[in-house]
A = this chain, B = another copy of it.
Amino acid sequence: MTDRTLRPPAPTSADVARRAGVSRATVSYALNDNTTARVSEATRARVRAAAEELGYVPNFAARTLRAGSNRTVLLPTPDIPVGPLFSRFLIELQRGLVRRGYAVVQYGAGDRAPGGVEQARAWAELRPAAVFGANGLSDEAVRVLRGAGVRALVAVASAPVPGLHTLVLDHSRVGAAAVAHLAQRGCRRIGVVVPAEPELAVFAGPRLRGAREAAAAGGAHAEPVDLAYTEESAAELAGRWRELGLDGVFAYNDEYAMLLQRALQDAGLEVPADVAVIGADDLLLGRLLRPRLSTVRIELPGGAPLSEAIDRLVRGPGEEPEVVGEVAVEVEWRESTGRG
């Protein structure tokens, strides 16, 4: 039984060359508008036509192998659903990078341990020019990636990571801003929602820490309260709110805040009179609540400056780790913490 594949193999530059009656070199020159070797207009047209007719597409692997490098930026796909804020940020970043001639590849980890060598190896195989979002890497993982020639390793982290470039996004400042605001509005016993969903722990931890520090500084007390993203959990928490004796709450983000505020109201508590509520992310939906939800706005850098920074890091020989951007947070004061 002949194992002849039904599908013909993809056309190569040799096929194009044959069809156009030129050499493979000429095909390469013609299609890449190479300036060093000047190809006549006539030949170029013949080559273009042949390529078109055959549906020729250059083989990325071969090109990469030959060139030795790769205008590819790797964005490790987060393994938790991302909110609209971050989703928009990624799209913008992607646009910026593509504009600068990079291919942007979001690479899924599957079940591999985040930050581990396994994952680093999977990334390193692709020999990307940069990895954006190289968070929580072990030293070994960094070594592997560096060894594979990755030019720029950019982490998104709360503080500059030694040896890496960093986009500073300090979640503790989100918690701090929220709780400072509550303390300033007169709250003394402040709940801090810690989502029960384990995949959110990486954000929830720092937010809680920041909240605690701000509470201490503002002469208030911060009390962690667990909350799962379900109506039942919210109702249960609201049910024992009076015995908790909390007069304010930072609810992790706007979605948890909306959930909790509704539950608190259903339990007969007045917002903000009995308990002030603040979220984070500045979702439009938070403004629809009554009272309108106060929130901590997180201002991610735009795609343009960030992609410019990445491009610079990739080209530049500079080895010094640098901070490629800083994320600002600001409180948006609305009715749920007593405005108006």
Residues on A lying within 8 angstroms of B by beta carbon are: 6-7, 9-11, 54-55, 57-65, 68, 70, 77, 79-84, 87-88, 91, 94-95, 97-99, 103-112, 121-122, 124-127, 143-144, 146-149, 229-231, 255, 258-259, 262, 284-285, 287-288, 317, 319
Contacts and interface: CB of A to CB of B under 8 A. Distances in A.
Contacts of A255: 284-285
B81 A94 contact: no
A111 B62 CA distance: 25
Number of copies: 2
Given A6-B317, A125-B59, A288-B262, A77 B106 contact: yes
B111 A57 contact: no
A331 to B, nearest CB: 20
Nearest to A73: B108
A127 B124 CA distance: 19
Contacts of A104: 77, 107-108, 110
Q: Kindly list the 4 A-B residue pairs having the minimum CB-CB distance in the complex, ordered from nearest.
A: A98-B110, A106-B106, A55-B147, A81-B87
A107 B110 contact: no
Contacts of A230: 284
Contact of A98 (B11, B111, B288): B111
A36 to B, nearest CB: 17
A103 B122 contact: yes
15 contacts: A59-B65, A61-B62, A61-B65, A81-B84, A94-B108, A95-B108, A103-B108, A103-B122, A105-B105, A105-B107, A106-B106, A106-B108, A231-B284, A231-B287, A258-B288
Contacts of A284: 229-231, 255, 259
A8 to B, nearest CB: 8
Contact of A149 (B9, B88, B103, B149): B9
A113 to B, nearest CB: 13
Contacts of A110: 94-95, 97-99, 104
B94 A77 contact: yes
Contacts of A77: 91, 94, 104, 106
A307 B71 CA distance: 29
Nearest to A286: B285
A4 to B, nearest CB: 11
B127 A61 contact: yes
A126 B108 CA distance: 16
